[in-house]
Amino acid sequence: MLELESRSVRRIQAATLPAFLGQRITYLLAGAATAGVYYVLLGLGLLLTRNSVPYLFLVVGCHFVTVVAVYPAYRLVVFRGCAVGWIPGYLRFYAVGLTFLGASAAGLPLLVELAGMPLMAAQALIILLSPPLSYLANRFWAFRATV
């Protein structure tokens, strides 16, 4: 009996592990694309406004546009088994994204104003530190399989 149970567990683990690793890889690729979209939007915003708009306003605007643009990809490609509807899922996704926005809103003034770091370099540093936390929040809350 114990041997039969352990074989069943091994089969489940063998089927689950590649799917989970595949999801992580897909998430990393989507996260890299998301960071790229956001970073390009922020850079373009800075160039177009020529410092006439405070950078934190640009950060908020670029964040919103990025989240709206990338949500369908996360919904359809990364977290395909999502049992939550599109709008509640988007609101959860945006809530998770607000943690990144909060990190940027708090971290940028510290890095730019106090540490003297260039804005885009400071934002790149914050972008690099954010994905592990947002993956966990998205995986286990925003796109959890059951409600």
Residues 89, 147: Cα–Cα separation, whole Å = 11
Position 146, amino acid: T
Per-residue confidence (pLDDT) for residue 9, from 0 to 100 = 44
pLDDT per residue as tens digits for the range 71-118: 998 888 888 777 778 898 899 889 888 888 998 999 999 999 999 999
Contacts of 58 (CB under 8 A, 6+ apart): 42, 45, 46, 49
| Cα Rg of the chain (Å, integer) | 19
Per-residue confidence (pLDDT) for residue 139, from 0 to 100 = 76
- What average pLDDT score do residues 1-8 get? 51
Handedness of CA 43, 44, 48, 54 (dihedral sign): negative
Global pTM exceeds 0.75 = no
Nearest to 46 by CA among 97, 112, 128, 115: 112
pLDDT per residue as tens digits for the range 14-47: 444 455 556 778 888 888 899 999 999 999 999 9
Per-residue confidence (pLDDT) for residue 101, from 0 to 100 = 93
Q: Which two tokens stand for residue 132?
A: 């592990």
